[in-house]
């Protein structure tokens, strides 16, 4: 494969925006975490039957939980890697650990239907939103 890459290299095609908008907010992650919790609640409240309607609702709710847990992870990673800068480590020495654990919770919520894990994710995102607010306040 290396030989092919040498004689027939892969070039980069840029398909992006040159202007980083610089607009960051923890709100999408909060909404996504809230949606995950709501889906867990609704899945657990489904009637214990095998009707077509119940099965259809179950699949839709699991799909929504999956999508929003992934969205939550994506939004957290944007804040972690793009918004927070090395200087923020002085304010929040546990910044990396906080984000890492929150991202892991997103995965856990994809794997399980677990009200405790959903609450933990909401709390983790609320904590990050609080860090974000403090970081914003320090700019002023």
With binding defined as CB under 8 A, does residue 11 bind other proteins? yes
Q: How far is the CB of 17 from other proteins (least distance, A)?
A: 4
Nearer to other proteins, 9 or 47 (CB): 9
With binding defined as CB under 8 A, does residue 6 bind other proteins? no
Neighbours of 90 (CB within 10 A): 8
Q: How far is the CB of 56 from other proteins (least distance, A)?
A: 25
Neighbours of 95 (CB within 10 A): 18
Q: Residue 88 corresponds to which tokens in the numbers above?
A: 């923020």
d(C-alpha 127, C-alpha 1), whole Å: 46
The residues of the shown chain that bind other proteins, judged by CB under 8 A, are: 8-19, 73, 107
């Amino acid at each position: 494969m290396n030989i092919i890459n040498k004689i027939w290299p892969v070039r980069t095609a840029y398909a992006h925006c040159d202007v980083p908008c610089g607009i960051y907010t923890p709100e999408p992650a909060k909404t996504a975490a809230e949606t995950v919790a709501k889906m867990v609640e609704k899945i657990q409240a489904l009637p214990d039957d095998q009707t077509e309607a119940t099965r259809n609702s179950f699949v839709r709710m699991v799909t929504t939980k999956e999508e929003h847990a992934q969205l939550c992870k994506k939004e957290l990673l944007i804040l972690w890697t793009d918004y927070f800068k090395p200087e923020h480590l002085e304010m929040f020495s546990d910044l990396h650990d906080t984000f890492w654990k929150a991202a892991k919770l997103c995965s856990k919520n994809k794997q399980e239907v677990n009200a405790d894990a959903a609450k933990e994710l909401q709390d983790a995102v609320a904590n990050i939103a609080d860090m974000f607010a403090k970081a914003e306040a320090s700019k002023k």
